[in-house]
Chains A and B, each alone.
Chain A
Amino acid sequence: MEPLTSKKKILVQKPLNFAERMYLPAIGKGLKITISHFFKKEATIRYPEVQREMSINWRGMHSLKRDEDGKERCTACGLCALSCPAEAITMIAAERKPEEKDLYREEKYAAVYEINMLRCIFCGLCEEACPKEAIYLDGPIVPSDYLRKDFIYGKDKLVEQPLEKK
């Protein structure tokens, strides 16, 4: 049959010569390769103590940001929940009272803000949708847990630590 391509190669299988049939030189070669790996640096990272450096566009656990005065930026507009393809975000909005002025930036704030970490796909659309730059996926890997209810993260886990008072 005519070859269909010009890349056809005829495979010639030579019978093994004596050294190859002895098998021992090949074993020696193999042993040399494996022992060279003995002295190589290991690829393992001792995880909890040492953490791998994440790439710059790494998306981890969410954090709700505060502004430069330590007020929560979120105004509970609901755009993040709307944009979320996994429907992982739930929030209940509330009106700010006059005495809470230094707690919340806008007049409306999220009284309840919950993200179900089992639903979240870490796509980052909430981050993109937020008009107030209030939510970022800049945290670590979400830790494991035993119960489903423990994966619903409320504001206690999501909101940034308050700024140090100077």
Chain B
Amino acid sequence: MDITFVIEKFILVAIIFGISLVIAMYSTYAERKVAAFLQDRLGPDRAGPFGILQPLADGLKMFMKEEIIPTHSNKWLFMVGPGLAMLTACIGTAVIPWGSPITIGGKIIPLQVTDINVGVLYIFGVVSLSVYGVMIGGWASNNNYSLLSAIRAASQNISYEVAMGLSIIALLLVTNTMSLKEIVEMQHGGNWNVLYQPLGFLLFIICAFAETNRAPFDLPECETELIGGYHTEYSSMKLGFYLFAEYINMFVSSAVMATLYFGGYNYPGMDWVLQVTGPTIAPLIGTAVLFLKIFAFIFFFMWVRWTIPRFRYDQLMHLGWKILIPLAIANVIITGIVIAIVEKF
């Protein structure tokens, strides 16, 4: 392994890490602004022009707050919890192809940290891990509400992972590969997977809402019943990490949805742009398009939050087990039959 390869990957990792943190930071701002606009309000507009410095002020506030570790908590786990939540949120970005390979000075650099051949499974595994941060934090707090919230989060994530996995299986039947890079390249030329798997996409996005603990499935953070949820006992930057991890999760799942179903960095008229602008600029435009798709999904997440009220716990379980899973299985079977028929004739 030569040193340039290491440097190249290191730079890419640093950039992606930085971008996901900045996006998570500004998601908090966007959330408040979108919420305000949807409710005929203005939202934060005091810190800087249009309140653009609000996330910095919030971050500074978080850092300044007193760090409290409850006496009866499991101190080690209490500290591991937020770190784990942050870690699992961040590592999901590693396999997402952010753009087609870019040529800089005659050297071709792939805009993807690693193209493992089981990329979809990796994403799925990381998403499953994300519940551990919540569970460990809730357990270690030694607080009834935190524990209830952790239990809710665990059962919710497990229930919805089944439907999510089944909807991915139907997608894999179509794509025949688990490498995210190949899945994206396959969708070149408006050939987006959402056209082949509309039901699969619907199931996937519903499960993504549940996996990221976003409204209407934000039961682990249900303030009316659980005070703050699993982070009731947390303060200072530990709380900040939990809130941050949630937004990074949202960013990653938006990126995954854009990659799996909406063509990733592909856009109509891509080949023409490549001819006109050359192999250095064109991939960057593709990356910009991918980010536009991601932002659209993030906006959709926020839009739904202010539209649909929270599900009751039994409704959540009913939807997950009795509706989404049978639908997902039916989707797998129908997809399989259709593919078999298409290949036969």
Spell out A's residues near B (CB within 8 Å).
27, 30-31, 33-35, 37-38, 40-44, 46
Contacts and interface: CB of A to CB of B under 8 A. Distances in A.
Contacts, number: 36
Nearest to A22: B323
B308 A42 contact: no
B45 interface: yes
B306 interface: yes
Given A38-B37, A40-B40, A46 B45 contact: yes
B308 A27 contact: yes
Contacts of A33: 307
Contacts of A37: 37-40
A19 B42 CA distance: 36
Contacts of A46: 42, 45
Nearest to B309: A30
B72 interface: no
Contacts of B38: 34-35, 37-38
Contact of A31 (B40, B41, B42, B303): B303
Contacts of A44: 40-42
24 contacts: A27-B304, A27-B307, A27-B308, A30-B307, A30-B308, A31-B303, A31-B304, A34-B307, A35-B303, A37-B37, A37-B39, A37-B40, A38-B34, A38-B37, A38-B38, A40-B40, A41-B40, A42-B40, A42-B42, A43-B40, A43-B41, A44-B40, A46-B42, A46-B45
Contacts of B40: 37, 40-44
Contacts of A35: 38, 303
A34 B41 contact: no
A45 to B, nearest CB: 9
B41 A42 contact: yes
